[in-house]
Homo-oligomer: A and B are copies of this chain.
Amino acid sequence: MPGHPFDDAIELESTEAKGVLRGHTSPEWANMVGPFGGVTAAALLRAVQLQPDRTGDPVALTVNFAAPVLDGVFDIAAKPVRTNRTNQHWLIELWQDGEIRTNATAVFGLRRDTWSDTERLRPSVPEPEDIAPTGLPGTVVWAGHYDMRYVEGGIPGDGHGPAGSSTTTLWARDRRGRALDFPSLTALSDIFYPRVFLRRGAPSPAGTISLTTYFHADGDELASAGGDFVLCRARAHRFSRGYFDHSAEIWSRSGDLLVTTHQVVYFKT
């Protein structure tokens, strides 16, 4: 019986080389060119989670999309750079045809009780049940795995003009109700279509170059979020000379700030 398409996409098997795991791209997670970057990032994180000497849970992940991932088999090499008492640093590389296509660094760590506070609170928005599901155009295959309810800043279609703000806010959940875990949170970090489309009112060539995600949730908060909608919000800061950045947050429905995430994107227009 086939598993959930997300689990299939990040499934990795061990190889004879220490720290090296083998996976394969899934047509179901195709983007315009190559696979959805979010699922590649999730596979890189998963490769660390599967290492027997891994300590703790993800704290930070930076993924650099150096070259397009080709359809087919890939090897992910995960190497511990440094193991400290409460955290561990990893270097992760995705190889195809003898070349690094994607590389990443990750920090995993143990969490312990401290003073806690959330400053970036979940905005008040309509409930997802009160918003029509839309999503992304059917040519963006991977997006079909998510139930997306846009509060603002949906992808511009015919008749849309340029927008004055690059902010997009949407509810999203796995369409089949798969419960959140660290790999799926990683993939959700890349759920936003390029902000330049919104500002310009039309698609144009664009691709994420580097994606950084900070994980604030612990296992209990993830379990409590389950397979319910999470609220995702992104906005760009500056578009300039072929690059722009954006920053985003993901909150659970009950208001836990699960992730803050940032990326820099190459664009033409």
Contacts and interface: CB of A to CB of B under 8 A. Distances in A.
Please tell me how many copies of the chain the complex holds.
Answer: 2
Contact of A243 (B62, B109, B199): B109
Given A59-B264, A119-B237, A120-B238, A64 B87 contact: no
A262 B214 contact: yes
B238 A115 contact: no
Contacts of A264: 59-60, 107, 214
A191 to B, nearest CB: 18
Given A199-B117, A237-B119, A268-B114, A105 B257 contact: no
Given A64-B105, A82-B66, A209-B60, A200 B247 contact: no
Main secondary structure of the interface of A (DSSP, over half): strand
Contact of A100 (B81, B110, B112, B165): B81
A118 interface: yes
Contact of A107 (B81, B210, B257, B267): B210
A103 interface: yes
A141 B64 CA distance: 34
12 contacts: A59-B210, A60-B264, A62-B210, A66-B81, A67-B82, A67-B84, A82-B99, A86-B242, A87-B209, A107-B264, A214-B245, A218-B241
